[in-house]
Homo-oligomer: A and B are copies of this chain.
């Protein structure tokens, strides 16, 4: 039987399908099209598994994976805000807060609270688990931009300083990878993928 509780859960499951239509700026590695936020979330959840060894002590890996799976859901209502879009980022928090209320609110209340707490933790960036998750959320598009010979960086004439600032969460979230990122940024500038 489809109980009222199950109906709520199915409604949520069907609603989040819309994240597959939210396009990010990042290109697929073959440059053929822009990536959507659902497949991006899938990608970084697997990255959490593969990069688990770079997680600082105290990271709850299972919680990080759950966090990464749901962290972009608010974009269904709020859209994906390009990280270098100054204007779009001004009211981002407010738009996403409203989205979180509506979307998680589709679920039975204690599940709404559970998923909301994951999202709040990611947004607050106060725990090491959230910092680890955020680092992966930055590293994936970085790898894509490098792989696509500058990809979004070239399209939007992004500079070295902007990328260094954008990648700073790696320093605390996956400190062992910070040297690699800094070196890779330097190489991307040298080769012309990224502006000085």
Binding site for B on A (CB under 8 A): 1-2, 6, 9-10, 12-14, 16-21, 28-30, 32, 35-36, 38-39, 41-43, 45-47, 49-51, 61-62, 65-66, 69-70, 107, 111, 115, 140, 143-144, 147, 177, 179-180, 183-184
Contacts and interface: CB of A to CB of B under 8 A. Distances in A.
Q: A-B pairs with the 7 shortest C-beta distances?
A: A42-B42, A62-B62, A38-B39, A17-B29, A20-B39, A39-B39, A38-B42
A74 B42 CA distance: 15
B115 A49 contact: yes
A36 B19 CA distance: 13
A84 B162 CA distance: 50
Copies assembled: 2
Main secondary structure of the interface of A (DSSP, over half): helix
A70 B42 CA distance: 9
A49 B69 contact: yes
A69 B16 CA distance: 17
B35 A28 contact: no
A29 to B, nearest CB: 4
B32 A28 contact: no
Given A39-B20, A45-B42, A13 B143 contact: yes
A62 B154 CA distance: 39
Contact of A46 (B28, B51, B70, B144): B70
